[in-house]
Amino acid sequence: MKAESKMQFNKAESAELEQSRSKLSALDFQLKIGFDGKRAVNNLTGLGNYSRFIIESLAKKFPAQQYFIYSPKVNQQLRSLSLLSLPNVKLELPKSSKFLWRALGVKKQLLADQIDIYHGLSHEIPFGLQQTKIKSIVTIHDLIFLRKPHYYKFIDRKIYEWKSRYACQNADRIIAISERTKLDIIELYGISPKKIDVVYQGCDEAFKIKATLTKLAEVKNRYQLPDTFILSVGTIEERKNLNLVIEALAQAQTSVPLVVVGKPTPYLEKVKDTIAKHQLQSRVLFLHKVTFDDLPAVYQLANLFVYPSFYEGFGIPIIEAINSNLPVIAATGSCLEEAGGPDSVYVSPSQPNELAIAIDNVLSDENLRQMMVSKSSAYVKKFNNDLVAEQVMECYKKALR
């Protein structure tokens, strides 16, 4: 009897395995993938860049699949995205009410479109999706709102935690954008590591293309950039720690100016107070409205990139800088070493003297700069579009097994 039961079990297991293999082989020509596309077609930076990068990389690497972008609305500036002109990509807007559409209403459209896999690209999936036959993936960028709660309003923090915890518990698989984020998900949400895949982010191809001399000259003139400068890119908020860079400039031997590209927040006033305290007004230039078309040239005109953030999920500006042939100085304490690799320089995010010394060392040593750029450029090849697309597709396959 035991032998017969074991034989029946093996037959059932074999049938299940065969069905799984059949599904996986079908991925080559008939998978329908849906995305939470609100960020992709509405956000010009950050999560929007990530969403567009993932969708476009997949659509080009695996052109036989069909890709559906679901969003309650579209930013007019993004209606002409090249991504939306790809033949295997379709934008889906609400067919009825937009109210709670991403959280609830979208399920009806996913079922009507016969979606096989739904990918929540930024911390959330629709409620109750697990009760359908649609498999789900969620990307978790970071849990900074739990690690560093003082950077967030109470209500925002609670909403982020509620949505992301639900998604991690109910999605079939989780993509973490760094090992640091994976460890946070395991520790803070109690999720099994077997359910989590680490897939690093890449950056837009525009940062890998050398700007023409004409473009460089136009951008330099448009923004009145100095001949030599240190660059910082990112929202000017407390977590990004721009004030440390100002304190370091006051201690450094170099007189090279700093150019800051980023959206201002109330934290900017604290930074300006530090600038005034050290009489550095002539050495710091703020650019709040650099277009995406001009940003790669701004990177390429710089001499050094600094990014001393207290905490990040990954750190895309570091990848952009390295692809722009810039040496990078970043901070220890989160995951920036994963983005910058072993040949960037890392300092404490609370020690301006360390940053000052690092800035002087890198700017004064041409051989060091060239070595950092060369080795780091080789390191970031692991974040190229095709490789990331393959890793994401492998995560989809795991969800279908």
What pLDDT is attached to residue 401?
85
What pLDDT is attached to residue 49?
84
Residue from 195, 277, 293, 288 nearest 243 by CA: 277
What pLDDT is attached to residue 28?
55
Just give the CATH number of 26-202+385-400: 3.40.50.2000
115 within 8 A of 75, measured Cβ to Cβ: no
- Scan for tokens 């450094």, then name that residue: 252
Neighbours of 365 (CB within 10 A): 13
CA pair distance 254, 156, nearest whole angstrom: 41
Where do the domains of the chain lie? 26-202+385-400, 205-381
At 154-197, the pLDDT tens digits run 999 999 999 999 999 999 999 999 999 999 999 999 999 999 99
pTM (predicted TM-score) = 0.82
pLDDT < 50: residue spans in the chain: 1-17, 20-26
Regarding beta strands 304-307 and 328-331, do their DSSP bridges make them parallel or antiparallel, or are they unpaired? parallel
Q: What is the CA radius of gyration of the chain?
A: 23
Fold matches, 26-202+385-400 and 205-381? yes
H-helix or E-strand containing 92? strand 89-92
What pLDDT is attached to residue 264?
94
Regarding beta strands 258-261 and 328-331, do their DSSP bridges make them parallel or antiparallel, or are they unpaired? unpaired
Q: How far is CA 244 from CA 249, 250, 335, 352, in A?
A: 9, 10, 18, 6
CA pair distance 32, 99, nearest whole angstrom: 25
Token representation of residue 206? 């525009």
Concatenated DSSP letters of 178-247: SHHHHHHHHHHH---GGGEEE------GGGGSPPPHHHHHHHHHHTT--SS-EEEES-BSGGGTHHHHHH
What pLDDT is attached to residue 44?
75
Q: How far is CA 150 from CA 157, 177, 214, in A?
A: 9, 23, 45
Q: What's 205-381's CATH class? A: alpha beta
What pLDDT is attached to residue 1?
43
